[in-house]
Structure 1
Amino acid sequence: MKRKMIGSILITLLVAIGVLVFLQSPWYKNGEMALPKGVTDGETSILDVSAQEKGDRHVKKFELTAQDTEWQISEGKKVNAWTYNGTVPGKSIRVTEGDFVQVKLKNELDVPVTIHWHGVLLPNKMDGIPGLTQDAVQPGESFTYEFIAQDAGTYWYHSHQQSSVQVDKGLYGSFIVEEKEKKYKKDEVFILDEWAVNQEKEDITNMGGMMKGAMSGDGEADTKQMYDTFTVNGKSGKAIEPLVMEAGEKARLRFVNAGYQVHRLVFPEGSMKVIENDAERVVSDDNNTNVLEIAPGERVDVEFTKPDQDTVFIGQEQNIDYAEDMILPVVSNETHADQEASLAREAGTAKGISYGSEELIFDKTPDPDVTYDMDLSMGMSMGEGMSFQINDKTFPDTPPIKVQEGDIVKVTLRNKGRMNHPMHLHGHRFQVESKNGKEFEKPIVKDLIHVKPGEEYVIYFKADNVGEWLFHCHDNNHAARGMVTIVDYEGVYSPFELGGQEKNQPN
């Protein structure tokens, strides 16, 4: 009897001590559970907003494994690449608009990784940003991304963990959302990139290299110093697989720039018409322009009609180093692939802002609820050399764009530095209203705007996708040195942290 009483007293004491410890702990305050540091009462985790259910939708399942691979770029050129499923680019994922997509990422590398779905409008928690929307996927672990493929168009996926390194090493692939009724029988994707094969990229990302590029007057001189090989779908020069088409045949060609350098592709005269830019259909009856300028991170779709010749070529304009690496033969059969390459003369250039969009976000210039001036500049960081800044700050100290759900947001981007900055907004599309103070007759809807030195763009977007979203330069070498900010919705918080045990590095 005494033993039972003693045992009961001990249990009561232990419970009491536990309650006292809990009441004094950081997990409890004033009778409520404590929130993470910097979070106020009443805020909602980004994990609990914008949920998407599969319902009765068709489910498409994929598996991507991040792994170390020796990749043959061309004869005599091999690189130690990081790949999804062993190839560069990774597996091309194709789904149909309306599908519910499930992608399981398995990490067999010895570093953390993620997948970001570039340009795809999806729930914040599926955006793949370590330290903001998830913890990076550790070696030996996995993570499954789930979302609805709501909008047809050309997208791509890539790691957003230390992306200046991981995308450079090959962690990317195409993500295509097809229309339910396809217009083109032939539909091909071409991912453009640059590689450092015979040199160490890290040796020239120092202050001296940056300063030399900055003083040259070339907006991407820094990037040009870093790479010595161009690729199309992971192959260079003669190793590029020809596109087989008959004379007069039409095809949809989807181009993605996964690199950090602008590429200008020359087509045979009269063969090309732009049909989409950043997954938005454009208004264009221009069949004369034959040079396509694609900024880093941009996607451009064209309708291509094969001229009445056995072999023609689509290739990088031949006025820069390594341009000969990026030439795509278009042949009637494989036997013509060895013909000597020659490109047409330039007859006009199509850029990301050349054509207005079919569907606009705003019918007329709206009155904004939030205005944000984004000054893009260069500076010096103690011990780090050259930095790239937004409003004189580097991430994570850059001032965020604070919004409430439903706000109309006006952002003025000004490039006050000497380098090009392709600025990409996650989770939203924006409408480009003006350049250098002059309004466009036909506004343009995009998710990336290429801002060259001295340029100013005014864009508008609607805060209609609750979460914490990156807005950053897609020259990831610039993002790694600070050119990143966040669209911060009121009332939500991220439960994740930068760095930490998971080594989260979103830039």
Structure 2
Amino acid sequence: MKKKIIGSVIILLLLVLGYSSYEWIYNNGADGEPELVNGEESIEELYNDDFSDKNITEYDLTAEEVEWSLEKGESVNAWTFNGTVPGEPLRVTEGDVLKVNLKNNLDVPVTIHWHGVILPNVMDGVPDLTQEAVQPGETFTYQFEAKDPGTYWYHSHEHSSLQVDKGLYGSLVVEERDQKNDYNNEQILILDEWATDGDRESLTNMPGTMMGAMSGDGEADTKEMYDTYTVNGKSGNSIEPIIIGESEKTRIRIINAGYQVQKLNFPKGSVKVIAYDAADTIDSNNEANIIEVAPGERVDLEVRNNQSEPWLISNLTSINKGVNANIPVITDKDVDYANLEPNQADEGKVIDGATIGNQDLIFEDTPDEVDVSYEMDLSMGMQMGEGMTFQINDNEYPNTPPIKVEDGDIVKVEIKNNGRLNHPMHLHGHRFQVVSKNGRKFEEPMVKDLIHVKPGETFEIYFKADNKGEWLFHCHDNNHADLGMMTIVDYKGVFSPYAK
């Protein structure tokens, strides 16, 4: 009788306190513990941790603070995974399980998000949505099957505008199980930008940012906030050269961990795009010499050394401001490349993540009928006492309207940038198909998990809601996300016990 009275009081209190959004109605189970009886599933219930029949690749990552040298005489206070920027590179074979034991030796909470990886919701690493943040001195284990080969990366998603900025990121490569090695070697390049002249200035009170935005420069904010560009945590003359023998070819996996668009200039005829966002692109000779990589985006390149002398992959991003991030390419480790001059010309054919189609599509044809249609208007705003904000449909997260879906739905999202700054929009836990830009259909659609939307642009994307959970959809200029440009793909019948 006493248990029944307590149960009735709990139900009444929940109703009075307004918990109807999650409909948490409990009953006493056989063991005396509360049970959910209204049909909603916790995201924890969606996770199957039985990997007894799988090979497991295991890593230990420790979040810790170090003094990191960007270049001789130029050091920064960095937050790192295993003491380096970038953190330890992770590799796992397709179909195997990746197990990562995170230990937090920082004095702030951290998490790890597995950027671009299709995985169970509870392993996604978003604090207060898919897990509790890992507190100082605590540990957490991430474990999931690596189902899709390609180039990915990992980074903290706890206050990510600051923590990724300070170095909490690294590469993740999922290798094809039956991979054909057509390359002499492979190189991973992680691009970033740093504020080395003291702490970076807050985006909310930078007087030049709004003026730059009004002038139509989509990069006005990042150009003011940062002064040093890096490759694999190094800048200027400290950047390690890539060794490619004459007439040999290598695979270069490029990850943009920063918040500014990066443009890399190659000699004509030397480079071909083979994948964007871990999706193989259409096999053709792209004949491009300028490769654009948006914040959060990954691009895989086939680079053939058609030069007999050393040369530079020239970073056009660093023309106007900051220490350069040009990458030497040499044929032999003993070659002198000290006096190389970068090619800073921006002439030639440009390839970006919205100009080259993919081999394998989600939808062979654009769906005639959809279950959910969502218009996502991106804009800037101002809040009294708070300064600049970044909005989705005139609201800042957590007040942005969610994309409400049911399992199996086909979802159409029209993303329009009504502001004057760039917004690389990233969807967690899914891939989407980009079918049009500014109302014009692509003959060769793209499969992505991030689409870079420049001022005045509109993209039409489709995805299938086939991974139940509560998933972020946000701008991957994390400064913009931190100031409101986020929403959630919210599956019906699923709730997060971590949501605040």
- TM-score under structure 1 length normalisation: 0.91
Q: Which residue of 2 aligns with 1:338?
A: 338
In structure 2, the CA distance between the partners of 1:489 and 1:21, relative to structure 1 (3 Å rule), is same
Partners of 1:311 and 1:339 within 8 A in 2: no
Equivalent in the alignment of 2:397: 395
In the TM superposition, what is the alpha-carbon distance from 1:268 to its structure 2 partner?
1.3
1:3 corresponds to:
none
1:234 and 1:321 map into 2 onto residues whose CA distance is 21
2:355 maps to a residue whose letter is S
Quick check: 1:406–1:464 contact (8 Å CA) kept in 2?
A: yes
Taking structure 1 as reference, are residues 434 and 318 closer, same or farther at Cα in structure 2, changes over 3 Å only?
closer
Q: Give distance in 2, aligned partners of 1:267 and 1:351.
A: 14
Name the aligned partner's letter for residue 351 of structure 1. D
SS in 2 for 1:464: coil
Which residue matches 1:351? 352
Distance 1:323 1:288, change over 3 A: farther
Alignment partner, residue 426 of structure 2: 424
CA distance, structure 1, for counterparts of residue 115 and residue 279 of structure 2: 14
Corresponding residue number in structure 1 for 2:213 = 214
Within a 5 Å distance, the mapping from 1:477-496 to structure 2 comes to 477-496=479-498
Aligned-partner residue type, residue 290 of structure 1: N
Residues in 1 aligned to 2:149 and 2:81: alpha-carbon distance in whole angstroms: 23
Q: How much does 1:497 deviate?
A: 3.2
Structure 1 residue 170 and structure 2 residue 177: aligned?
Answer: no
> Which whole-Å CA distance do the structure 2 matches of 1:30 and 1:214 have between them?
49
Specify the alignment match of 1:321 in structure 2: 320
Aligned AA (1:39): Y
Structure-1 separation of matches of 2:63 and 2:311: 36
Measure how far apart 1:37 and its partner are. Answer: 6.3
Structure 2 CA distance, aligned partners of 1:443 and 1:31?
Answer: 48
Correspondence for 2:21? 38
1:90 aligns to 2:91 (yes or no) = no
**Is the 1:207–1:386 Cα contact (8 Å) retained in structure 2?**
no
Give, as a single letter, the amino acid of the residue that structure 2 aligns with 1:91. Answer: E
- Report the counterpart of residue 187 of structure 2 in structure 1: 188
The CA distance in 2 between the partners of 1:84 and 1:117, in whole Å, is: 14
Distance 2:206 2:226 in 1: 17
Contact 2:318 2:325 in 1 (8 A): no
Change (3 A) 1:204 1:482: closer
Distance in 2, matches of 1:467 and 1:428, equals 11
**Corresponding residue number in structure 2 for 1:433:** 435
Q: 1:152 aligns with which of 141, 149, 152?
A: 149
CA distance in 2, matches of 1:476, 1:191: 17
Task: Describe the superposition over 1:171-208 as per-residue Cα deviations: whole angstroms up to 9, x where unpaired.
Answer: 00000001122423411100000000014313454153
Aligned partner letter, 1:382 = M
Q: 2:425, 2:473 within 8 Å by CA — same for their partners in 1? A: yes
- 1:109 alignment partner in structure 2: 106
| Structure with larger Rg | 1
Greater alpha carbon shift after TM alignment, 334-343 vs 152-161: 334-343
Moved more, 315-324 or 126-135: 315-324
* Distance (whole Å) between structure 2 residues aligned to residue 374 and residue 491 of structure 1: 23
Q: CA deviation at 1:245?
A: 1.6
Q: Secondary structure at the match of 1:273?
A: strand
- Cα shift readout 1:106-149 (whole Å, capped 9, x = no counterpart): 00000000000000000000000000000000000010001001
Q: Which residue of 2 aligns with 1:300?
A: 299
- Partner SS for 1:48: helix
Asked whether 1:241 is paired with 2:240, we answer: yes
Question: Counterpart in 1 of 2:68?
Answer: 71
Q: Could you give the per-residue CA deviations for residues 270-300 of structure 1, whole angstroms, max 9, x where no partner exists?
A: 1100000000000142342110000000000
SS of alignment partner, residue 201 of structure 2: helix
Q: Deviations over 1:223-268 (max 9, x none)?
A: 1100000000000010001111210111110000000000100011
**Which of 11, 32, 49 is the aligned partner of 2:46?**
49
**Equivalent residue number for residue 6 of structure 2:** 22
- Rounded Cα–Cα distance in structure 2 between residues aligned with 1:208 and 1:35: 42
Three-state SS of the structure 2 residue aligned to 1:439 is strand
Matched residue SS, 1:274: strand
Q: What SS does the corresponding residue of 1:210 show, helix, strand or coil? A: helix
Query: Structure 1's 185 and 247: CA in aligned 2 closer, same or farther, altered over 3 A?
Result: closer
Q: What is residue 371 of structure 2 aligned with on the other side?
A: 369
1:22 partner letter: I
Distance 1:487 1:239, change over 3 A: same
Q: What's the CA shift string for 1:333-365, capped at 9, x where partnerless?
A: 233232323327532111101111000000111
How far, CA to CA, are the matches of 1:349 and 1:296 in structure 2?
17
Give 2:55's aligned amino acid: H
Post-superposition shift, 1:318?
6.4
Question: For residues 387-432 of structure 1, what are the alpha-carbon distances to aligned partners after superposition, in whole Å with 9 as ceiling and x for unaligned?
Answer: 0000000000000000000000000000001110000000000000
Measure the CA separation in 2 of the matches of 1:327 and 1:403.
45
1:238 counterpart SS class? helix
C-alpha contact 2:311 2:340 (8 A) present in aligned 1: no
Q: Report the secondary structure of 1:201's partner residue.
A: coil
Change (3 A) 1:442 1:287: closer
Q: Name 2:257's counterpart in structure 1.
A: 258
Structure 2 counterpart of 1:444, one-letter code: M
Deviation of 1:381 after TM superposition, in Å, equals 1.6
Show the counterpart of 2:271: 272
SS for the counterpart of 1:334 is coil
Asked whether 1:202 is paired with 2:163, we answer no
Do residues 466 (structure 1) and 468 (structure 2) align?
yes
Counterpart code for 2:431: R
Relative distance call for 1:234 and 1:37 in structure 2 (3 A) is: farther
- Give unmatched runs, 5+ long, in structure 2: 24-37
Cα offset, 1:25, TM superposition: 4.3
Instruction: Tell me what 1:289 maps to.
Output: 288
2:99 counterpart letter in structure 1: Q
- For residues 159 and 209 of structure 1, what CA distance do their matches in structure 2 show? 29
Instruction: Find the residue that maps to 2:471 and give its secondary structure.
Output: strand
- Given that residues 316 and 324 in structure 1 are in contact (C-alpha distance below 8 angstroms), is that contact kept between their aligned partners in structure 2? no
Name the structure 1 match of 2:122: 125
- Structure 1 residue 368: deviation in Å? 0.8
Q: How many residue pairs are counted as aligned between the two chains?
A: 480
2: CA distance, partners of 1:400 / 1:69: 39
Distance 1:266 1:31 in 2: 60
Equivalent residue number for residue 30 of structure 2: none
Amino acid at match of 1:409: V
Indicate conservation of the 8 Å contact 1:61/1:102, yes or no. yes
Question: CA-atom RMSD, angstroms?
Answer: 2.0
